[in-house]
């Protein structure tokens, strides 16, 4: 097999040009069910793999959101984090709640269709969490009551669910 080179431009049907990539692969052999694929099939599969970049911006509501989503996906491919859930694992419930509260407030303040929101959502999960933590720390005195209220609401919901669970009978 040989070197496979693909140049691909990405454009949104409404918002126009999004970006371009140059894929280069030195492929020795690709098999399906033990059978080696011809070069044309390998190239087809690589073209199809690039479809994930197009899928990233397909549902965008603004040009900025489309570009941010495309960049986020491209960055994940380059960094090897594609398909890996990032951020949020291993943190306290209070941190998860503070991030959720800040996220809701930032979205309301900027607007879901704003360039600022698109830029924020275009960040990696880890970078979003870092920014949320930063915003919370800068506004903790004002945000703490909302976080405490949400923590209480979640605890009450857990207790209500446990009480309901204890009161019902299920038989297999």
pLDDT number for residue 88: 45
Question: Is there a single domain that holds both residue 127 and residue 60?
Answer: no
131-148 pLDDT, tens digit each: 999 999 999 999 999 999
User: Do residues 7 and 73 both lie within one domain?
Assistant: yes
Question: Is residue 87 a part of any domain in this protein?
Answer: no
Boundary-marking domain end, from 52, 79, 106 = 79
Residue 152's pLDDT is what?
94
pLDDT in tens, 81-122: 776 555 445 688 899 999 999 999 999 999 989 999 999 998
Contact 6, 43 (CB under 8 A): yes
Residues 98 and 72 in one domain: no
pLDDT at site 125:
85
In terms of residue numbers, what domain contains 158? 93-167
Report d(CA 113, CA 105) in Å as an integer: 14
CA dist 73 and 53 (Å) reads: 6
């Amino acid at each position: 097999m040989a070197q496979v080179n693909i140049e691909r431009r990405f454009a949104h049907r409404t918002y126009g040009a999004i970006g371009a990539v140059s894929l280069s692969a030195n492929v020795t052999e690709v098999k399906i069910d033990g059978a080696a694929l011809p070069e044309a099939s390998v190239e087809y599969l690589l073209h199809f793999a690039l479809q994930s970049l197009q899928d990233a911006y397909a549902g965008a509501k603004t040009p900025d959101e489309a570009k941010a989503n495309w960049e986020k996906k491209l960055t994940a491919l380059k960094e090897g984090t594609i398909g890996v859930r990032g951020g949020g694992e291993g943190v306290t419930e209070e941190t998860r709640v503070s991030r959720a509260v800040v996220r809701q407030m930032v979205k309301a303040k900027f607007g879901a269709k704003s360039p600022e929101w698109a830029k924020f959502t275009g960040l990696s999960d880890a970078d979003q969490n870092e920014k949320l933590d930063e915003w919370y720390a800068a506004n903790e005195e004002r945000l703490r009551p909302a976080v405490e209220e949400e923590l209480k609401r979640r605890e009450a919901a857990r207790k209500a669910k446990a009480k309901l669970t204890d009161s019902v009978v299920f038989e297999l």
